[in-house]
Structure 1
Amino acid sequence: MTTFVDRVELHVAAGNGGHGCASVHREKFKPLGGPDGGNGGRGGDVILVVDQDVTTLLDYHHHPHRKATNGQPGAGDNREGKNGQDLVLPVPDGTVVLDKNGEVLADLVGQGTRFVAGQGGRGGLGNAALASARRKAPGFALLGEPGEARDIVLELKTVADVALVGYPSAGKSSLISVLSAAKPKIADYPFTTLVPNLGVVTAGETVYTIADVPGLIPGASRGKGLGLEFLRHVERCEVLVHVLDTATLESDRDPVSDLDVIEEELAQYGGLGDRPRVVVLNKIDIPDGKDLADMIRPDLEARGYRVFEVSAVARQGLKELSYALAEIVATARAAKPVQEATRIVIRPKAVDDAGFTVTKEADGLFRVRGEKPERWVRQTDFNNEEAVGYLADRLNRLGVEDELLKAGARAMDGVAIGSDDDAVVFDWEPSLSAGAEMLGRRGEDHRFDAPRPAAQRRRDRDAARDEAQRDYDGFSPF
Structure 2
Amino acid sequence: MSRFVDRVTIHVAAGDGGNGCASVHREKFKPLGGPDGGNGGKGGDVRLVVDPNVHTLLDFHYRPNARAANGKPGRGAMRNGAQGEDLVLPVPDGTVVLTEDGEVLADLVGAGTTFVAAAGGRGGLGNAALASKARKAPGFALLGEPGERCDLVLELKSVADVGLVGFPSAGKSSLISVLSAARPKIADYPFTTLVPNLGVVTAGDTVFTVADVPGLIPGASEGRGLGLDFLRHIERCAVLVHVVDCATLEPGRDPVSDVEALENELAQYTPALQAEHGGADLAERPRLVVLNKVDVPEARELAELVRPDFEDRGWPVFEVSTASREGLRELSFAMAAEVERYREQLPPPEPARVVVRPTAVDDGGFTVEPDPEDEDAYVVRGEKPERWVRQTDFNNSEAVGYLADRLAKLGVEEELAKQGAQPGSQVTIGGVTFDWEPSTPAGVAGVLGRRGTDLRLEHDDRVTASERKAAKKARRSSLDEYGQYVEKPQEDE
TM range (shorter): 0.7 to 0.9
Match of 2:338 in 1: 328
2-structure distance, mates of 1:438, 1:45: 38
CA gap 1:221/1:141 in 2 versus in 1, 3 angstroms: same
Match of 2:275 in 1: none
CA gap 1:437/1:133 in 2 versus in 1, 3 angstroms: closer
Match of 1:360 in 2: 370
Match of 1:187 in 2: 187
Match of 1:460 in 2: none
TM superposition score normalised by structure 2: 0.85
2-structure distance, mates of 1:119, 1:378: 16
2-structure distance, mates of 1:162, 1:176: 11
Quote the offset at 1:360 in angstroms.
2.0
Q: Deviations over 1:179-235 (max 9, x none)?
A: 111111111111110000011111122211110000001111111111121001111
Quote the offset at 1:367 in angstroms.
1.4
Code of the residue aligned with 1:272 in structure 2: it is L
Quote the offset at 1:357 in angstroms.
1.8
Query: What pairs up with 1:213-292 in 2 under 5 angstroms?
Result: 213-270=213-270, 271-292=281-302
Code of the residue aligned with 1:313 in structure 2: it is A
Q: Secondary structure at the match of 1:143?
A: coil
2-structure distance, mates of 1:43, 1:104: 26
Decide whether the 8 Å contact of 1:389 with 1:436 is kept in 2.
Answer: no
Q: Secondary structure at the match of 1:262?
A: helix
Match of 2:326 in 1: 316
Query: What pairs up with 1:37-436 in 2 under 5 angstroms?
Result: 37-270=37-270, 271-338=281-348, 354-362=364-372, 363-364=374-375, 365-418=377-430, 423-431=431-439, 433=441
Quote the offset at 1:303 in angstroms.
2.1
Decide whether the 8 Å contact of 2:140 with 2:452 is kept in 1.
Answer: no
Question: In terms of mean alpha carbon deviation, does 83-92 or 25-34 score higher?
Answer: 25-34
2-structure distance, mates of 1:51, 1:196: 19
CA gap 1:278/1:62 in 2 versus in 1, 3 angstroms: same
Question: In terms of mean alpha carbon deviation, does 328-337 or 148-157 score higher?
Answer: 328-337
Match of 1:463 in 2: none
Quote the offset at 1:41 in angstroms.
0.8
1-structure distance, mates of 2:359, 2:102: 29
Decide whether the 8 Å contact of 2:238 with 2:285 is kept in 1.
Answer: yes
Q: Secondary structure at the match of 2:144?
A: coil
2-structure distance, mates of 1:139, 1:12: 35
Code of the residue aligned with 2:398 in structure 1: it is E
Decide whether the 8 Å contact of 2:68 with 2:85 is kept in 1.
Answer: yes
Q: Secondary structure at the match of 2:2?
A: coil
Query: What pairs up with 1:3-22 in 2 under 5 angstroms?
Result: 3-22=3-22
Quote the offset at 1:298 in angstroms.
1.4
2-structure distance, mates of 1:379, 1:261: 60
Decide whether the 8 Å contact of 2:399 with 2:452 is kept in 1.
Answer: no
Quote the offset at 1:347 in angstroms.
11
Decide whether the 8 Å contact of 1:18 with 1:41 is kept in 2.
Answer: yes
1-structure distance, mates of 2:393, 2:448: 20
CA gap 1:444/1:143 in 2 versus in 1, 3 angstroms: closer
Quote the offset at 1:436 in angstroms.
6.2
Q: Secondary structure at the match of 2:283?
A: coil
Question: In terms of mean alpha carbon deviation, does 366-375 or 9-18 score higher?
Answer: 366-375
2-structure distance, mates of 1:62, 1:346: 32
Code of the residue aligned with 2:321 in structure 1: it is S
Structure 1: tracts of 5 or more residues without a match: 446-475
CA gap 1:395/1:153 in 2 versus in 1, 3 angstroms: same
Q: Secondary structure at the match of 2:199?
A: strand
Match of 2:476 in 1: none
CA gap 1:272/1:330 in 2 versus in 1, 3 angstroms: same
Decide whether the 8 Å contact of 2:408 with 2:439 is kept in 1.
Answer: no
Q: Secondary structure at the match of 1:273?
A: helix
1-structure distance, mates of 2:358, 2:224: 46
Match of 2:491 in 1: none
Code of the residue aligned with 2:436 in structure 1: it is W
CA gap 1:140/1:348 in 2 versus in 1, 3 angstroms: closer
Code of the residue aligned with 1:430 in structure 2: it is P
CA gap 1:412/1:380 in 2 versus in 1, 3 angstroms: same
Q: Deviations over 1:374-426 (max 9, x none)?
A: 111111000001111111111111111112122222222221112xxxx1111
